Chains A and B, each alone.
Chain A
């Protein structure tokens, strides 16, 4: 599903990624660990075509992201859902409208939008908040809405960049359980985090980045 072959990236004098090679299979749940500045976000941005490596090749869902044309990037992103630490919800739109956005940009019919958004909101447990504005939600609820938006169009991969960075331990557990559920339905999930608490809850592959280099992989302790 995801394949990186000798990927390197440098910003000015700073090495963000150095000769990173790994493969993530379909339906896997992988934790991408490492301290801040280790290159996790750069790697995730590369997977959605927002950055290009200086060297190496990246494949996502059989598509070579390194050579992708700018006009193809939106179609890649429709297959890859993204969840952010800061949620990135539109403050003036309701929960329903925020989650409907990925479907709107694809020209999905009104009836299908209603059905899919309701399903996504139900899956993350915020269906009852559908008409509220993001400002009226707790941080945990906002993150759930962000996850609903990421899964609403049934992506093949879900990327989460520090999804629990703004959450307390109890909410962190809830969100991780949610990711496990989404993964159980067949979606490949990659969670980038520096939070050891997440590793304690997930007994899956852990890829660790340190100063842009990939360390030997191990399994989570969950």
Chain B
């Protein structure tokens, strides 16, 4: 117990002794992690939006015009039995014509000249959540297209592919920037710890001489790194939250985007905690790097 309180006290003393360096380290780590956070927030919101849009994707399965009613029922049975299909809506030839006329009243005379209804019957298919990724939709459409009684499977493939590409690009940028700026945070914390190690090199040498193990010597510095990382991360989240609220307020005051402000979200508490833990991890990594380089004043 006394040993634990000693280690905690030493860690606190380290931070208090180098107050200015500690503050600078926390602030620079916070700004660095906030930059990563902006991309992460953008990525999370775009993914959510993409999820909503993808949930809304409907696939049109057009039936062969020569198909007998029994065969239509058979196709329906087959689609209902498909585990990728969440819901199914049949649109008869007559309904399709009605909808066309309703949507394009000025063009309806074009179809009248043909004598018979040229629009095929179709099923409007919504896929289950686990089959809504662009690749899964593509695979499913290609498979169903081969089935008998089906003339065409249609969905807005270009649009879905474009969205997927945008999300993938942001994901890559977020990962790239995240890795680079995390390395910067580790370096900032490592340098702060190195200053502490340098200031206390004599003390470390004495601890070694009286039989302190490497872990006993390292713990206060690892704790210091963890606290710097966690505080930096928490401050970056506070900064992000402030910017997020400011952004939402701006959106509310701009008429064009009114209502959209409710669609953008901040990180949920669990993600905030995870980000603080990541900051802590980066801090510990910084301490570790510093101690490895410093050699803990080997005696």
Contacts and interface: CB of A to CB of B under 8 A. Distances in A.
Interface stretch (B46-54, B83-91, B201-209): B201-209
Contact of B209 (A71, A77, A104, A110): A77
Contact of A48 (B202, B203, B209): B209
B1 A101 contact: no
- Of the listed residues B3, B202, B209, the one surrounded by the most CB atoms of chain A closer than 10 A to its CB is B209
Given A50-B299, A107-B3, A110-B2, A88 B211 contact: no
Interface string A13-25: 0000000000000
B2 A104 contact: yes
A107 B203 CA distance: 18
A71 B211 CA distance: 11
Contacts of A144: none
B6 A104 contact: yes
Given A50-B299, A88-B202, A90-B203, A102 B2 contact: no
Interface in B23-58: none
Query: Interface extent on B, as a size class?
Result: 10 to 19
A106 interface: yes
A110 B210 contact: no
B210 A77 contact: yes
Contacts of B6: 104
Interface string A91-111: 000000000011011111110
Contacts of A113: 2
Contacts of B210: 77-78, 82, 101-102, 105, 149
B216 interface: yes
A169 interface: no
Given A50-B299, A110-B2, A78 B211 contact: yes
- Of the listed residues A74, A76, A77, A102, the one surrounded by the most CB atoms of chain B closer than 10 A to its CB is A74
B202 A105 contact: no
B274 interface: no
B294 to A, nearest CB: 16
B179 interface: no
B258 to A, nearest CB: 61
B212 interface: yes
B156 interface: no
A44 B212 CA distance: 18
B1 A105 contact: no
Give chain B's interface secondary structure class. Answer: helix
Interface in A62-84: 71, 74-78, 82
B2 A105 contact: no
A104 B206 contact: no
B270 interface: no
A31 B234 CA distance: 59
Contacts of B213: 71, 74, 105
A88 B2 contact: no
Nearest to A113: B2
Interface string B197-239: 0000011011111111110100000000000000000000000
Contacts of A110: 1-2
Nearest to B212: A105
Contacts of B212: 74, 105
A106 B206 CA distance: 14
Contacts of B3: 104-105, 107
Contacts of A71: 213-214
B97 to A, nearest CB: 84
A48 B209 CA distance: 8
A9 B213 CA distance: 26
Interface of A: 48, 50, 71, 74-78, 82, 88, 90, 101-102, 104-110, 113, 149
27 contacts: A50-B209, A50-B299, A71-B214, A74-B211, A74-B214, A75-B211, A77-B208, A77-B209, A78-B211, A82-B209, A82-B210, A88-B205, A90-B203, A90-B206, A101-B206, A101-B207, A102-B211, A104-B2, A104-B3, A104-B6, A105-B3, A105-B211, A106-B211, A107-B3, A108-B2, A109-B1, A110-B1
Given A74-B213, A77-B208, A113-B2, 16 more contacts: A71-B213, A74-B211, A74-B212, A74-B214, A78-B211, A82-B210, A88-B209, A90-B206, A104-B3, A105-B3, A105-B207, A105-B211, A105-B213, A105-B216, A109-B1, A110-B1
Interface of B: 1-3, 6, 202-203, 205-214, 216, 299
Nearest first, the 8 A-B pairs at minimum CB distance are: A78-B211, A77-B211, A105-B212, A102-B210, A110-B2, A74-B211, A74-B213, A107-B3
